[in-house]
Amino acid sequence: MDKIVVTGGLGFIGSHTVVELQNSGYHVVIIDDLSNSTEKVLEGITSITGKTPIFEKLDLKNKTAVKAFFVKHNDVKGVIHFAASKAVGESIIEPLLYYENNVSTLVYVLSELRKLPAVSFIFSSSCTVYGQADALPITEHAPIKIPESPYGNTKQIGEEIIRDTCKVVPALKAIALRYFNPVGAHKSIEIGELPIGVPQNLVPFITQTGIGLRKELSVFGDDYPTHDGTCIRDYIHVVDLAKAHVIAMARLLQGKNKSNFEIFNLGTGKGTSVLEVVKSFERVSGKELNYKIVGRREGDIVSAYADTNKANNELGWKTTLSLDDAMFSAWKWEQKIRATE
Ligand code: UD1
């Protein structure tokens, strides 16, 4: 079976994707620098799939090491590129770090891939490229907005780098997947999200509050023009998201792509408010969540949810797991990691 390299394969979305790739029979090689993950994730992957992927600890900023890696693995058929820094606030304080981590590394990887006979490439992009879209649900044709942060900009630039490279390297075929809000954990609770420090994202903050690690959740604003005044997002279960990567990779490997660079939204198509996420947590955990309404968070958009028609029709993929499934697994995962601390 084909060899697939997964950069950032020990991270949140990466590890779930490695599981789905292995379950589909692919031979997986993980690259990770362990900057936001641990080697213990390998054990979780192994216990779910019964197979230990090859793991190479490698910093993609090391151009020489990247070159040596792809000389060694010159039989690779596909690369799924997750490795990137993703803290929006940190990216505003440390823009150069983000451009180096997210942009330079992409250039180094593509520079090696263009030397190979044929490679299929999947890029982790984000709905952040749409900013506050003018029309909902958001289709892939929605205009790209001026990025709110260097992090968001690295996703836009990343897509452009790949588009430009695909124009001149016919052996390279690529898909950018624009994720909405990935949440949840594998149902085995062998792998899940491991945020470092105080979580910036809603769901890990909720589960950490539920377990008593945080006093209360601050809900950022209840005066937005939405049905309950809180912001709307499209929360997608990480396992559904991971499966989309396997389908997108197969599309490229089988030559079913319509152009050398394609873009797909990955979301559920359903908008959910912050308070509805809180209610889902309370439903699946049987716990009342301590929360208070505070002022708006700077840079937040009011509402974003995906038009999923292109992914549904072209990829033949759709989500099967609910928000309650995601919150239940996220809660089980939180309980497990705190019990083993
Ligand atoms: C954030 C990033 C986005 C990134 C995405 C990855 C910002 C501005 N955007 O998106 O670039 O691609 O994560 O998942 O950081 N909320 C609270 N209290 C909290 C945390 C969040 O009320 O303690 C609210 C937010 O105001 C928002 C919703 O929950 O309405 C979701 O927030 P979050 O999980 O941070 O995701 P995004 O803001 O959508």
The DSSP string of 202-266 is: HHHHHHHHHTTSSS-EEEE-S-SSSSSSS-EE-EEEHHHHHHHHHHHHHHHHTT--SSSEEEEEE
User: Domains in the chain, please, with CATH?
Assistant: 3-183+236-267 (3.40.50.720), 202-231+270-310+322-339 (3.90.25.10)
* High-pLDDT (> 90) share of the chain, %: 97
Mutate to test the pocket of ligand 1, among 90, 148, 151, 201 (most ligand atoms within 8 A of CB): 201
What pLDDT does residue 245 have? 98
Nearest-angstrom CA–CA distance, 230 and 213:
24
Identify the pLDDT of residue 270.
98
Q: Is the CB of 277 under 6 A from ligand 1?
A: no
Maximum pairwise Cα distance, the chain: 56
Residue 1 pLDDT grade (very low, low, confident, very high; cuts 50, 70, 90): confident
The whole model's pTM is what? Answer: 0.98
Residue 228 Cβ inside 6 Å of ligand 1? The answer reads no
- Summarize pLDDT for 93-116 with one digit per residue, the tens: 999 999 999 999 999 999 999 999
Among 281, 283, 278, residue whose Cα is nearest residue 293: 278
pLDDT at 319: 98
Residue 340, pLDDT above cutoff 90: no
Under 8 Å CB-to-CB from 296, ≥6 apart: which residues? 220, 221, 223, 224
For residue range 43-70, what is the model confidence (pLDDT) as tens digits? 999 999 999 999 999 999 999 999 999 9
pLDDT level of residue 176 (50, 70, 90 thresholds): very high
Do 6 and 18 meet the contact criterion of CB atoms below 8 Å apart? yes
pLDDT at residue 79, as a whole number: 98
pLDDT tens, residue by residue, 15-33? 999 999 999 999 999 999 9
Asked if the model's pLDDT at residue 275 lies above 80, the reply is yes
Rounded to the nearest integer, the mean pLDDT of the chain is 97
pLDDT tens by residue, 108-158: 999 999 999 999 999 999 999 999 999 999 999 999 999 999 999 999 999
pLDDT mean over 281-291: 98
CA of 82 to the centre of ligand 1 (A): 19
Provide the pLDDT for residue 225: 98
What is the whole-number distance in angstroms between the Cα of residue 131 and the centre of ligand 1?
Answer: 12
Gap between the Cα atoms of 328 and 280, Å rounded: 9
Give the distance (Å) from ligand 1 centre to CA of residue 302: 11
Q: From the CB of residue 25, how many other CB atoms can be counted at a distance below 10 Å?
A: 9
**Could you identify the atom of ligand 1 that is nearest to the CA of residue 274?**
29
Question: Per-residue pLDDT for 341 more than 80?
Answer: no
pLDDT in tens, 72-85: 999 999 999 999 99
Q: What is the mean pLDDT of residues 267-296?
A: 98
Closest CA to 25 of 238, 177, 191, 250: 250
- Judge if the beta carbon of residue 296 lies within 6 A of ligand 1: no
Catalytic residues: 151
**Closest residue (by CA) to atom 4 of ligand 1?**
128
